Amino acid sequence: MVQRGFAAKRKKLNWKLVVLIALAHILALAGLARLLMPEFTSEVIEQATSIVTVTVRTYEDEEPEAEPSIAPPQPDEGAAGDEGREATPRPVIAPPQPLPRPSPAPRATSTGTANTSGAREDGEGTGAGGPGDGTGSGRRGSGTGGAVAVGPSVRSGELNEARDFPIPEGGRETRLGRSVTVHFTVTTAGRARNCTVANTQVDAATTARVCPLVIERIRFNPATAADGTPVEARYGYRVDFRARS
């Protein structure tokens, strides 16, 4: 019986296991060196990584092939054209019509014969003209009106300058040589009305007494027209204050 040598029974080495064990030792040594000398290990790692270069290739996108263009069919010469599009008319708005204005009513037809219408400021002819303002001539003045043939005149009554008027401040001598003139209308009955003071040279109290005294005490002959008919007329009456002799 032949005995095989001890070497024949030896198993083959497992290279994968050997590589793993070696890498583990290297990593353990690298970790220990990094803990003990961190600056040295970082420089070694940077140098080791700088040696390794990586080349990356990129593939350009291929341009898509252009599709062949299909030309539109050409119409036959002499063929009818396409139908036109249906046109939509633009809306037209009519302008607003103005409302008819009512015609004014015709004016009334005049029945007169004059060439002009309306009242005039100045009448034609003399006319009555209302009572006229006479100038008067003192105590016995006689005025003339517009259509008066004979003016009014004093028929009766008189005023006493001393007795009928109040004594003014400073005495009666203060109004001597002065006068008061009043205007009024003499009616057909011979009485005075519508009396107003035309001019005064004396005090207010004396002036205020003249018209009431004339209406109360003086009676007049009324004015007459050309045919003798009594008519009203304006008349002026003056009271003179003078010294009694």
pLDDT number for residue 4: 52
- On the question of pLDDT at 86 being above 60, the answer is yes
**pTM of the shown model:** 0.40
pLDDT number for residue 142: 46
Sort residue 138 into left (φ over 0), alpha (ψ -120 to 50) or beta: left
Q: Which two tokens stand for residue 199?
A: 């001019």
For residues 74-102, give the mean pLDDT: 69
Q: Which of the four pLDDT bands, split at 50, 70 and 90, describes residue 216?
A: very high
Alpha-carbon span 18 to 128, nearest angstrom = 166
- On the question of pLDDT at 76 being above 50, the answer is yes
Higher pLDDT, 113 or 179: 179
- On the question of pLDDT at 180 being above 70, the answer is yes
pLDDT number for residue 16: 79
Report the candidate in 136, 128, 137, 149 with the shortest Cα–Cα distance to residue 184: 136
Report the candidate in 235, 214, 218, 229 with the shortest Cα–Cα distance to residue 143: 235
- On the question of pLDDT at 215 being above 60, the answer is yes
Among the ranges given (42-46, 99-103, 110-114, 185-189), the one the predictor scored with the smallest mean pLDDT: 110-114
Portion of the chain with pLDDT greater than 70, in percent: 53
pLDDT number for residue 226: 93
Give the right CATH number for 138-241 from 1.20.5, 2.20.110, 3.30.2420, 2.60.40. 3.30.2420
Residues 116-127: pLDDT tens digits? 444 444 444 433
169 pairs with which residues across the strands?
A: none
Q: Which two tokens stand for residue 228?
A: 């003798």
